[in-house]
Structure 1
Amino acid sequence: MTNAIKTAQQWLSDADAILVTASNGFSISEGLNLFAHDRKLSTVLGDLVEKYNLPNLLGALNYHYPDELDKWRVYARIAEYYNYNYYPGELMGKLRQIIGDKPYFIWTSNVDHHFALAEFSNLLEIEGNWQTGICSNHPKDHSFVDLKETLHQIYEKDQAGTLTEEDLPTCAECKAPLSLNIPGSAFNIDQKQVSGFENFLTTYQDRKILVLELGIGPQNQMIKAPSMQLIAGNERSHYITINKGQLNIPSVIADRSIGFSSTIVDAFDALITGKGEVETQGPAKPEPRLSPEESKRQEQIFKNFYPSYTVNKGYRPGELVMYTTIDHDHPSHLHMVQYGKALMYSYGDPVNVHCFTQDGRYRLVKLGLNKANDEVHGFYVEPNTFIAMESVKRVTGFSQVSVTLPSSSSNEILIPKKKQLKKMFPQQQALIERLSADN
């Protein structure tokens, strides 16, 4: 146990930069549980819980209220309790102590805005926050609005019984009603945050980067999967995860990973002091790799079985599968899915995934968050399928997709020959020409 703590401390000390990832478990440690139906729910929302049979805070945020005043009463009461009177506590102080003076970035799916209120400046709130407003009619074109004081004023008028529709916030540019900038039809990711995150990754993804994961459950793959893939693609990187009772460390990074099955506060204390009664997992021994002879034999098998392919070893898995960022002018080349892959939209533009199967069928899958546009958050691509991805020219100018790979995968990218592919899919020749490598 102590050895794992000492090792984790050494990894933190040696790191060139720290990427902090956080989700609901961290918010719960801060006293905010979006999923709880408890006494605090009534403390925060009062009579509105019974009026609308609200199950929890998450349900309250997503409820379609027939009364706009009640909707903003809910928003204002949540913001008053969790944001307007928020003061960074022990957890934030210990996190700052662990980061020290190292370059850092915080990537979170939490909408509470607590990291910003605790004065952490390098931040990507991938699902926005409930203190920022966005124009309901022109969310992509009109500016964000800081609603902190507006929500406080709504709360005070709500408590005084004087709230009217004239008090509800509207867009300064077009006078349309504002919405909270959280997942929904008007959600718009903050491009300044995205740009900062991209710059951080560009600078540090190939250096000694350490991912410090806080309270992200195994089912939450939006942040967890791509951050693990970042570690898988960089042998100089390390991964520390804290999540009581639900550690999930894939074997491909197990030799560079340590898990703390404890509260975040107890794990922080252990990382700061070097001791503590906390349950740890890892690091494990590295898995054996293919010998040069085995790799050569595997390559020959692929060439014999798929004679129309070339083998391109110019990419490392981390570069392809971690933060696969696609801009408008550079779609990913068609390549074969060798092992089967789960693709998951992370953020940015929606993504068009072109799939060509071995039996001559073509289908288009749209990755994104808008179900009204037939977009899906993720899907599984069967082995032996050709795929290429491109960003939809609609929102932010680029897309990010996380791609899972089995721990037994090789570094090989199988690129189809364009001429052969056109013969197999005569109806898609123009598409194949656009998405194929020059071969």
Structure 2
Amino acid sequence: METLSIKVMNEIQQAAQAIVRADALLIGASNGLSIAEGYHVFANNEMFRCQFGDFQQQYGIRNVIEGCFFHYPTENVRTEFLQCLVQHWVKEYRPSQVMKDLLAVVNHRDYFILTSNADTHLELSGFDAEKVFEVEGTFEDLLEHRPLKDKSCQANEFLRRYHNRNVVIFELGIGRYNRLIKQPLMQLANSEPHAIYITLNLASELYIPDAIVHKSIGLAGDIAVTLQELKNELYQNGTYSHV
């Protein structure tokens, strides 16, 4: 693991202090979090070719997203692809170190999660399903033709409960131009007087608007490394008890 710079370590310390003071965490997660785990819905990588090589050879699909929405010759073929996806990415999934570190960072604090990730890895790693809102549904929803489970009421109740309180908005791997989750989170950070906005992403995707830069912490780099450093900071200084 590369040694983090003093500047980054200071930012990690600031982020840890903000989390310690927080009454709750509002977490936003997108593709970058999945990539940190080793799952990439847009990649034509070795994992994709190993798991879906037959579909790639026969239909030319290049990644999981294409596979989910490809116009197959029959509905049965589409079902076969989705069954394969659910088998590899959901049923065979075991919590990664990334998810274990995220769960450790949250610790006992109340939280709510907004995510565009469809893999249900958050729930499978121990997060409460009632506190995770997959805003675009899940892979299993696609397979079973289930409607989107709208948890807007739960999200709004969480926001009402912590209005005007110390809330950390904790953003994981959301692209700089994302309007589905990132934009509302940035707007919330601007409107909530005691909110702190912490965003983890690759340097090229890290974005904090000028309006909230004074109440924001940007942690650039590999999310897996950053989460581990943040967890270590929280536990090594004695603030958190080891679990």
Same fold (TM over 0.5): yes
Higher helix share: 2
Determine the structure 2 residue equivalent to 1:9.
16
The yes-or-no answer on 1:132 pairing with 2:91 is no
Is the 8 Å Cα contact of residues 42 and 63 (structure 2) preserved in structure 1? yes
Structure 1, unmatched stretches of 5+, are 134-146, 148-177, 182-187, 276-439
Give distance in 2, aligned partners of 1:39 and 1:90: 21
1:274 corresponds to which of 216, 224, 233 = 233
Give distance in 1, aligned partners of 2:12 and 2:48: 37
1:216 corresponds to which of 164, 170, 174 = 174
Amino acid in structure 1 at the alignment position of 2:177: Q
Per-residue deviation, 1:194: 2.4
Per-residue deviation, 1:258: 0.7
Give distance in 1, aligned partners of 2:118 and 2:232: 31
Deviation track 1:145-176 (CA, whole Å, cap 9, x = no partner) reads: xx6xxxxxxxxxxxxxxxxxxxxxxxxxxxxx
Equivalent positions of 1:19-38 (< 5 A) are 19-38=26-45
Determine the structure 2 residue equivalent to 1:278.
none
Give distance in 2, aligned partners of 1:94 and 1:48: 34
Per-residue deviation, 1:118: 1.5
Determine the structure 1 residue equivalent to 2:3.
none
Determine the structure 2 residue equivalent to 1:201.
159
Per-residue deviation, 1:251: 0.9
Is the 8 Å Cα contact of residues 103 and 126 (structure 2) preserved in structure 1? no
Equivalent positions of 1:150-161 (< 5 A) are none
Per-residue deviation, 1:113: 1.1
3-state DSSP of counterpart to 1:46? helix
Query: Alpha carbon RMSD of aligned pairs, Å?
Result: 1.6
Give distance in 2, aligned partners of 1:100 and 1:110: 22
The yes-or-no answer on 1:49 pairing with 2:7 is no
Determine the structure 1 residue equivalent to 2:113.
106
Aligned residues: 224
Is the 8 Å Cα contact of residues 92 and 118 (structure 1) preserved in structure 2? yes
Give distance in 2, aligned partners of 1:205 and 1:92: 27
3-state DSSP of counterpart to 1:60? helix
The yes-or-no answer on 1:40 pairing with 2:18 is no
TM-score by length of 2: 0.87
Q: Percent identity of the aligned residues?
A: 33
Is the 8 Å Cα contact of residues 141 and 148 (structure 2) preserved in structure 1? no
* Moved segments of 4+, more than 3 Å: none
Per-residue deviation, 1:189: 2.8
Amino acid in structure 2 at the alignment position of 1:37: N
Give distance in 1, aligned partners of 2:165 and 2:175: 27
Give distance in 2, aligned partners of 1:74 and 1:36: 16
Amino acid in structure 1 at the alignment position of 2:132: L
Determine the structure 2 residue equivalent to 1:118.
125
Deviation track 1:310-336 (CA, whole Å, cap 9, x = no partner) reads: xxxxxxxxxxxxxxxxxxxxxxxxxxx
Instruction: Name whichever of 32-41 and 21-30 sits farther off.
Output: 32-41
Is the 8 Å Cα contact of residues 205 and 230 (structure 1) preserved in structure 2? no
TM-score by length of 1: 0.49
Give distance in 2, aligned partners of 1:38 and 1:97: 30
Amino acid in structure 1 at the alignment position of 2:90: N
Equivalent positions of 1:31-430 (< 5 A) are 31-121=38-128, 122-132=131-141, 178-179=144-145, 181=146, 188-191=147-150, 193-245=151-203, 246-274=205-233
Amino acid in structure 2 at the alignment position of 1:264: I
Give distance in 1, aligned partners of 2:127 and 2:152: 15
Structure 2, unmatched stretches of 5+, are 1-6, 235-243
Radius of gyration: which is bigger? 1
Give distance in 2, aligned partners of 1:95 and 1:120: 10
Higher relative contact order (CA 8 A, sep 6+): 2
Per-residue deviation, 1:200: 0.6
Determine the structure 2 residue equivalent to 1:165.
none
Amino acid in structure 2 at the alignment position of 1:109: S
3-state DSSP of counterpart to 1:101? coil
Give distance in 1, aligned partners of 2:35 and 2:228: 18
Amino acid in structure 2 at the alignment position of 1:216: I
Per-residue deviation, 1:199: 1.1
Deviation track 1:365-386 (CA, whole Å, cap 9, x = no partner) reads: xxxxxxxxxxxxxxxxxxxxxx
3-state DSSP of counterpart to 1:196? helix
Is the 8 Å Cα contact of residues 12 and 219 (structure 2) preserved in structure 1? no
